[in-house]
Amino acid sequence: CGAAMAQSSVAVYGRVDLSLGHLKEQGKASQSRMFDGNLTSTRLGFRGTEDLGGGLKASFKMEHRFDADTGASEDPMWKGESTLSLSGGFGELKLGRSSTIYDEVRGLSASSSVFDSAFTPSSNGVFGSGGDYSNRFNNKITYVLPSMGNLYGGVEYALDEDPDAKADMIGAKLGYKSGPLNLAMGLQQEKGKENDYLMVAAAYDFGVASVSGGYNVRNGNAASGDDNEFTVGVNVPLGALQLSAGFASGKTEKAGATSSKASGFGLGATYTLSKRTKLYGGVRSHQVKDGSGTKTADARLFAVGVRHDF
């Protein structure tokens, strides 16, 4: 580790997020733990962009995910993303493994719901109680539309590469962003699981507070039924401090009858120590009941921690 690396083609970046807290799940003993990634997942990445001239660019991104509390790699090695893309006036064409564009609409719906973190109820136990979506796909071709005034969007397709399985995925997103308002709709059709997801999400920044929310529908098959889910959240900035609360609820119906109901809430705060470092704390609680009202799952999480970007 010496002097002046001559290199513009690759940037090394990452984030480490560790916290201490408590998790209590139904049927398990209460547990004090060190957690990785309660605000956002720990990662190490490599990325770069080359200007090809004529407004065309080539970019790559490889993002490793791991658990800083144990030093263990998540699976696969480049779980976060491994993509190559060409972009220009036509928009962006991206190949490889990455998050789905429907997942971005899920993110928008929770953007002010306890920082879209492990304290956010919608993405931790409430949504998906009837069959959860895959937030990333391998072998994916994503086309992102070019800038079109206030509109944005994209379409994507993931090859399943198993001639017998028919587990392709089709996704689409359309959004409208104007000043403080961000509205988007996303769909994801997972043929392997016979699940179609459709979400409408919105976020609005009032200045003294920002709010976000969304409504999500899953259409499954006879065995998995259908889900109807919604979430709302609010973030309140107070200087270096930010307070947030979120609520989410959902139910699954099979053959016209409710087979499960889930709901939960989260509360959290972040404190900005510097541009790259935040302290945080939060709680989350959710429960799932079956059609007869019997509780089938619950969890309560409490943690305080620190997140550092590099």
Binding residues among 70-129 for its own copies as defined by CB under 8 A: 70-73, 76-84, 86, 95-97
User: Given the rule CB under 8 A, which of 68-76, 169-177, 189-197, 250-258 is the region that contacts its own copies?
Assistant: 68-76
Q: Which residues pair with 31 in a beta bridge?
A: 23
- Report the nearest approach of its own copies to the CB of residue 275 (Å): 8
User: Given the rule CB under 8 A, which of 51-59, 105-113, 177-185, 196-204 is the region that contacts its own copies?
Assistant: 51-59
User: Given the rule CB under 8 A, which of 11-19, 181-189, 221-229, 260-268 is the region that contacts its own copies?
Assistant: 11-19
Judged on CB neighbours under 10 Å (0-12, 13-18, 19+), 53 is: exposed
Round to whole Å and give the CA distance between 72 and 118: 19
Judged on CB neighbours under 10 Å (0-12, 13-18, 19+), 155 is: middle
**Whether 79 contacts 72, CB under 8 Å:** no
Q: What ranges make up the beta strands (E) of 121-225? A: 136-144, 151-158, 169-178, 181-190, 195-205, 210-219
Nearer to its own copies, 88 or 237 (CB): 88
Binding mask 260-299 for its own copies (x = CB under 8 A): -------------xx-xx----------------------
User: Given the rule CB under 8 A, which of 99-107, 134-142, 182-190, 222-230 is the region that contacts its own copies?
Assistant: 134-142
Judged by CB under 8 A, which of 60, 143, 176, 215 binds its own copies? 60
User: Which of 193, 183, 186, 184 minimizes the C-alpha distance to 171?
Assistant: 186
The count of residues interacting with its own copies (CB under 8 A) is 73
User: Which of 136, 109, 67 minimizes the C-alpha distance to 232?
Assistant: 109
169-228 residues in contact with its own copies (CB under 8 A) are none
DSSP secondary structure code for residue 10 in this structure: -
Full 3-state SS string of 115-142:
HHCCCCCHHHHHCCCCCCCCCEEEEEEE
**Whether 46 contacts 11, CB under 8 Å:** yes
**Whether 244 contacts 115, CB under 8 Å:** yes
27 binds its own copies (CB under 8 A): no
Nearer to its own copies, 40 or 277 (CB): 277
- Report the nearest approach of its own copies to the CB of residue 168 (Å): 10
Judged by CB under 8 A, which of 25, 40, 46, 224 binds its own copies? 46
User: Given the rule CB under 8 A, which of 107-115, 136-144, 210-218, 280-288 is the region that contacts its own copies?
Assistant: 136-144
Judged by CB under 8 A, which of 149, 163, 179, 207 binds its own copies? 163
**Whether 63 contacts 78, CB under 8 Å:** yes
Q: Which residues pair with 237 in a beta bridge?
A: 242
Judged by CB under 8 A, which of 26, 50, 221, 295 binds its own copies? 50
- Report the nearest approach of its own copies to the CB of residue 72 (Å): 4
User: Given the rule CB under 8 A, which of 4-12, 225-233, 246-254, 282-290 is the region that contacts its own copies?
Assistant: 4-12
Judged by CB under 8 A, which of 25, 69, 205, 290 binds its own copies? 69
Round to whole Å and give the CA distance between 61 and 57: 13
